[in-house]
């Protein structure tokens, strides 16, 4: 019986290791490809040892799409969006959870119900609206449409129970204003939930392709996915440069995974599993 | 002694308005960028939008939809990818979650990170990587095939293989994500249940089938519904990997919608496409809910 478990354990680890290798191989290739010149990239037999062309590929990337500007756009948009959206959704979740008002449940249900409607339905009118407001090619064009999102307010309301009602009451009795209570009492307690939501929203915005593609027209305004997508569509595809771009673009994800994984997992499982 | 302020009638009235104050920014953004677009899009789908002038044309856009061969192909392609990829991925994710939950496992965090790694790159990035890997002349996959003595495949230029590449890519990317959700679900199942059934003589697979899977049903449903919604709107992978080719073999509904709306400026028709896709998606979601709830005992 113990022997059988040993064999099962060995097979389990073997299968999982093979799986991990398969799953990480494309990423390994991405890193290697970023360090090779195009001539060696296309060689046969394929070269699988890293080269020294990272710097030169990076220069080419900068020359063709102004990558440093693109990177700045992505970072700025993601940061502004995350801060604004977390703020809006937390205030909204606080209102739904901690106050009683007429139509509260109907309104909440209505907001959450829109989650069942695929986002593609809203693309065109959002584009028309952004165009009419003259916001094409600006950060706001990317930030505004999804800043008030149903998922965020839903998650925030779910998390509000960690703020005890008595704490709010006693702060009220002590004479604190309502917003002051929200800011000084509720927010500090909510920090883990804020982090989890913030990470999800940041990664979503960093990674978003379709919407920025629609509203960002000139190269100086591009975000990283849009710029990279542009490069892939050219007739002469400079894969070395593109791979450098993808390597750099993974930086936020890596930071999250290495240091903030707990919050990220809490975020994505928040809706599926009852805590 | 701190004076206790007794709430006056005016203060109560103020308190009743406060939640609206907290909600106002959200509701403003939500109304402008979600509610209005949803309604306006519905209106547009019944209209013709040419040169900025909208004229009501009734169901003409929808009639055109039904007879449009390209839409039918996009629908077929999307359903094909959906039908193959989602079951494959969910099954793999389930097996993976069970493996990761196993008590026999060492170095769990390391394995978990390894299978999560595909999410480290953005969608455009991984599509670009796969396009490079599956390149028929100098892609590393074909090179590997040649080394193994097999014929290289023109992956992105043949309809079947092109669809396969998209399916492989999606599975590669999302299996880890779904496995994490399923793993979280597994970890909420009390070990007592297993011990109790073990006393009754049930072991291994029987336990999995009769205890684990039924209890995991909500989490599985969640993953399936999200995957279906996401795949119905699939855009980035076909756009970057294959540009919808070859000969529209990988044209998905999402890509077709984008082309009609933002390349042909066919706003009325594109809105009809969007609503048709939304309708199909909602019907699918309802069916899934029914299937999963109905089988519950």
For chain A, residues with pLDDT lower than 70 are 1, 43-48, 264, 267-275
A223 to chain B, closest Cα gap in Å? 11
B230 to chain A, closest Cα gap in Å? 9
- Asked if residue B95 has pLDDT above 80, the reply is yes
Give the Cβ contact number of residue A233 at 10 Å: 11
Dmax over Cα atoms in chain B, in whole Å? 89
Higher pLDDT, B11 or A182: A182
Instruction: Choose among B2, B34, B121: nearest Cβ to A114.
Output: B34
B108 to chain A, closest Cα gap in Å? 10
Chain B contacts of A95, Cβ < 8 Å? 18-20, 22-23
- In the prediction, which pLDDT does A236 show? 74
What whole-number distance in Å separates Cα of residue B269 and Cα of residue B260?
7
Residue contact A91–B181, C-beta within 8 A: no
- In the prediction, which pLDDT does B191 show? 73
pTM summary value: 0.84
- Asked if residue B52 has pLDDT above 80, the reply is no
Higher pLDDT, B139 or B11: B139
Which chain A residue lies closest to B136 (C-alpha atoms)?
A42
Q: Does B282 contact A at CB distance below 8 Å?
A: yes
Residue contact A9–B99, C-beta within 8 A: no
Q: Does B40 contact A at CB distance below 8 Å?
A: yes
Instruction: Choose among A91, A111, A207: nearest Cβ to B30.
Output: A111
A145 to chain B, closest Cα gap in Å? 5
- In the prediction, which pLDDT does B1 show? 47
List, for residues B102-120, the tens digit of each pLDDT value. 777 777 878 888 888 888 7
- In the prediction, which pLDDT does A44 show? 64
DSSP-based three-state secondary structure for B104: coil
What whole-number distance in Å separates Cα of residue A16 and Cα of residue B114?
10
Half-sphere exposure at residue A62, Cβ-oriented, CA atoms within 13 angstroms: 8
- In the prediction, which pLDDT does B38 show? 93
Q: How many CB pairs under 8 A join A and B?
A: 269
Residue contact A13–B113, C-beta within 8 A: no
A119 to chain B, closest Cα gap in Å? 8
* A130 Cβ contact partners less than 8 Å away, ≥ 6 residues apart: A136, A141, A144, A145, A215
- In the prediction, which pLDDT does B143 show? 80
Which chain B residue lies closest to A255 (C-alpha atoms)?
B120
- For the record, the structure tokens of A61 come out as 């990337």
Q: Kindly tell me the burial class for residue A123, based on how many C-beta atoms sit within 10 Å of its own C-beta (0-12, 13-18, 19 or more).
A: buried
Q: Where are the beta strands (DSSP E) in chain B?
A: 47-50, 53-56
- In the prediction, which pLDDT does B295 show? 57
- In the prediction, which pLDDT does A86 show? 95
- Summarize the confidence of residues B35-42 as an average pLDDT: 93
Q: For all residues of chain B together, what is the average pLDDT? A: 85
- In the prediction, which pLDDT does A201 show? 92
Candidates A46, A22, A90, A60; CA nearest to A234 is A60
Residue contact B274–A120, C-beta within 8 A: yes
């Amino acid at each position: 019986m113990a022997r059988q478990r040993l064999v099962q354990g060995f097979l389990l680890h073997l299968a999982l290791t093979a799986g991990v290798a398969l799953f990480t191989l494309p990423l390994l290739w991405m890193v290697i490809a970023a360090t090779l010149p195009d001539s060696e990239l296309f060689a046969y037999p394929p070269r699988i040892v890293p080269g020294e062309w990272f710097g030169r590929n990076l220069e080419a990337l900068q020359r063709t799409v102004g990558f440093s500007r693109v990177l700045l756009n992505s970072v700025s948009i993601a940061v502004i969006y995350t801060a604004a959206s977390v703020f809006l959704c937390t205030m909204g979740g606080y209102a739904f959870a901690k106050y009683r008002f007429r139509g509260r449940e109907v309104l909440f249900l209505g907001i959450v119900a829109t989650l069942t409607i695929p986002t593609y339905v809203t693309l065109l009118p959002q584009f028309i609206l952004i165009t009419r407001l003259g916001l094409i090619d600006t950060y706001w064009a990317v930030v505004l449409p999804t800043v008030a999102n149903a998922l965020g307010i839903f998650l925030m309301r779910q998390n509000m129970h960690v703020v005890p009602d008595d704490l709010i009451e006693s702060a009220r009795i002590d004479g604190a204003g309502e917003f002051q209570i929200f800011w000084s009492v509720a927010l500090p307690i909510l920090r883990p939930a804020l982090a989890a939501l913030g990470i999800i929203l940041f990664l979503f915005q960093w990674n978003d392709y379709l919407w920025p593609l629609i509203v960002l027209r000139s190269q100086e305004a591009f975000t990283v996915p849009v710029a990279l997508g542009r490069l892939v569509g050219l007739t002469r595809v400079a894969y070395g440069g593109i791979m450098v771009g993808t390597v750099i673009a993974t930086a936020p994800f890596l930071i999250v995974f290495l240091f903030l994984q707990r919050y990220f997992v809490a975020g994505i499982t928040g809706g599926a599993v009852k805590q | 002694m701190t004076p206790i302020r007794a709430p006056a009638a005016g203060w109560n009235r103020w308190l009743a308005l406060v939640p609206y104050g907290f909600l106002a920014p959200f509701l403003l953004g939500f109304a402008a960028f979600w509610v209005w677009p949803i309604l306006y899009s519905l209106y547009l789908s019944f209209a013709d939008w040419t040169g900025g002038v909208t004229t009501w044309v009734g169901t003409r856009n929808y009639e055109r939809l039904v007879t449009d061969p390209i839409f039918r192909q996009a629908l077929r392609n999307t359903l094909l990818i959906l039908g193959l990829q989602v079951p494959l991925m969910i099954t793999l994710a389930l097996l993976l979650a069970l493996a990761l939950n196993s008590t026999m496992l060492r170095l769990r965090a390391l394995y978990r990170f390894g299978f999560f790694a595909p999410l480290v790159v953005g969608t455009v990035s991984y599509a670009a990587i796969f396009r490079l890997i599956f390149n028929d002349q100098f892609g590393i996959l074909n090179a590997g095939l040649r080394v193994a003595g097999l014929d290289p495949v023109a992956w992105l230029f043949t309809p079947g293989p092109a669809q396969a590449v998209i399916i492989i890519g999606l599975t590669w990317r999302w299996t880890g994500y779904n496995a994490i959700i399923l793993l979280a679900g597994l970890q909420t199942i009390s070990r007592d249940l297993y011990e109790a059934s073990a006393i009754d003589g049930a072991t291994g697979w029987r336990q999995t089938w009769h205890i684990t899977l039924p209890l995991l049903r909500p989490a599985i449903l969640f993953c399936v519904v999200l995957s279906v919604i996401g795949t119905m709107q699939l855009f980035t992978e076909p756009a970057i990997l294959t540009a919808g080719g070859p000969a529209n073999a990988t044209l998905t509904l999402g890509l077709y919608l984008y082309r009609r709306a933002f390349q042909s400026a066919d706003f009325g028709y594109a809105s009809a496409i969007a609503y048709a896709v939304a309708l199909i998606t909602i019907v699918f979601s309802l069916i899934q809910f029914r299937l999963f709830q109905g089988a519950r005992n």
